[in-house]
């Protein structure tokens, strides 16, 4: 029996996560107030990432260094780098920290501005920060494939064994609503292996320094500044 994603997340999110931003993680009751065509490598105001790149996240607890997966998520990492360069994540608070029972995720990156665009229940980056609202499709790459799959969950057992970037401890992934084409700015960092999320969210990076800092993050800590190294 296949358990609906909404039931799955309601059963595991309540005791187990950390969030940063202005919303509760994993909203499964989206209200679509505006339709938008997802950005691609060819239509966005930024370039897809084509080389190994590291980003420093300076938090109120210390520094975290992440290495981005340009090969398996070129669109997502390109968007992330563009947001970092614009200073879009600077000053965003960790609003939800859940560690009881088992560690789950640290959720970060919901961006506020005076002119936000609400799409599928999320407030995405406004035109005052970047040239257009930032709406991306989910991006999953399978071993043996040159191009990622866009906007589609991978639930076939055979294909799941071929997913290139998995939800391992310390990985970064983009959150979205039930609509897999509603990826914006919020992302989460995994605190323990979460195979139940593989193929359902875009994994786009790995913490390579500072997991001890991540483990200290509490509610109302802040992501002070992010920068490309």
pLDDT in tens, 52-91: 999 999 999 999 999 999 999 999 999 899 889 988 889 8
The pTM for the full model equals 0.77
- When the pLDDT of each residue in the chain is averaged and rounded to a whole number, the result is 74
Alpha carbon 12 to chain centroid, angstroms? 18
Please check whether residue 114 is in contact with residue 125, taking contact to mean a CB–CB distance below 8 angstroms.
no
Task: DSSP letter for 151, please.
Answer: S
- 5-10: which pairs have CB atoms within 8 A and are 24 or more residues apart? 5/178, 5/200, 6/178, 8/196
**197 class by beta-carbon count within 10 Å (0-12 exposed, 13-18 middle, 19+ buried):** buried
| CA separation for the pair 137, 198 (Å, rounded) | 16
Domains of the chain: 38-182+204-228 (2.40.100)
């Amino acid at each position: 029996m296949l358990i609906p994603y909404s039931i799955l997340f309601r059963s595991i999110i309540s005791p187990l996560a950390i969030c940063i931003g202005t919303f509760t993680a994993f909203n499964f009751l989206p209200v679509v107030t505006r339709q938008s065509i997802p950005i691609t490598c060819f239509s966005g105001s930024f370039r897809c990432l084509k080389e190994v790149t590291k980003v420093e996240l300076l938090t109120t607890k210390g520094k975290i260094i992440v290495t981005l997966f340009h090969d398996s998520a070129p669109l997502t990492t390109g968007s992330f780098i563009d947001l970092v360069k614009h200073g879009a994540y600077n000053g965003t608070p960790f609003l939800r920290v859940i560690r009881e029972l088992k560690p789950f995720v640290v959720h970060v990156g919901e961006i506020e501005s005076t002119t936000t665009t609400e799409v599928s229940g999320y407030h995405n980056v406004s035109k005052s920060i970047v040239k257009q609202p930032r709406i991306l499709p989910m991006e999953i790459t399978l071993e043996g494939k040159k191009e990622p799959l866009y906007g589609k969950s991978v639930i076939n057992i055979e294909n799941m064994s071929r997913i290139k970037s998995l939800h391992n401890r310390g990985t970064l992934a983009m959150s979205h609503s039930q609509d897999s084409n509603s990826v914006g700015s919020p992302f989460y960092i995994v605190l323990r292996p979460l195979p139940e999320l593989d193929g359902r969210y875009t994994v786009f990076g790995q913490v390579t320094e500072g997991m001890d800092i991540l483990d200290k993050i509490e509610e109302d800590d802040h992501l002070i500044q992010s920068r490309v190294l």
